[in-house]
A and B are shown apart, each in its own frame.
Chain A
Amino acid sequence: MTPPDEAAPRRTEDEPAQAERRAILADSFGVAIATGAYGVSFGAIAVTTGLSVLQACALSLLVFTGASQFAFVGVVAGGGAPISGAATALMLGTRNTLYGLKLASLLQLRGARRIAGAHLVIDESTAMALKPKDPANARIGFFATGASIFVLWNLATLIGALGGRALGDPETYGLDAAVPAAFLALLWPRLTTLRTRLTALCAAGLALCLVPITQPGLPIIAAASVAVIVALRPPTTPARSS
Chain B
Amino acid sequence: MWAAIVITAAGCYLLKLAGLSIPDKALDRPLVRRIADLIPVALLGALVAVQTFSIGQTLTVDARVVGVGAGVIALLCKAPFLVVVAVAALTTALLRLAVG
Interface residues of A (CB under 8 A from B): 27, 30-31, 33-34, 51, 55, 58-59, 62-65, 67-68, 72, 74, 76, 78, 81-83, 85-86, 89-90, 93-105, 107, 109, 114-115, 117-119, 121, 123, 126-127, 130, 171-188, 190-191, 195-196, 199-208, 211-216, 219-220, 222-224, 226-228, 230-232, 234-235, 239
Contacts and interface: CB of A to CB of B under 8 A. Distances in A.
A185 B38 contact: no
A177 B67 contact: yes
Interface string B28-57: 001110111111111111111111111011
B11 A174 contact: no
A178 B84 CA distance: 9
Contacts of A230: 38, 42
B87 to A, nearest CB: 8
B98 interface: no
Interface residues of B, number: 73
Given A178-B92, A182-B84, 18 more contacts: A59-B8, A63-B8, A65-B16, A82-B4, A96-B19, A103-B19, A127-B44, A176-B92, A185-B71, A187-B45, A191-B41, A200-B44, A208-B54, A212-B57, A220-B43, A228-B38, A230-B38, A231-B38
A63 B49 contact: no
Contacts of B93: 172-174
B85 A178 contact: yes
B38 A181 contact: no
Contact of B46 (A89, A98, A203): A203
Contacts of B63: 174, 177
B99 interface: no
Contacts of B8: 59, 63, 68, 72, 85-86, 89-90, 93
A73 B83 CA distance: 29
6 contacts: A100-B21, A177-B91, A188-B75, A196-B38, A204-B46, A235-B34
Contacts of A58: 5, 9
Contacts, number: 309
Of residues B5, B12, B39, which shows the largest number of chain A Cβ atoms within 10 Å of its Cβ?
Answer: B12
Given A90-B12, A174-B67, A190-B40, A205 B49 contact: yes
Interface of B: 1-9, 11-13, 15-22, 24, 26-27, 30-32, 34-54, 56-59, 63-64, 67-68, 71-72, 75, 80-82, 84-94, 96
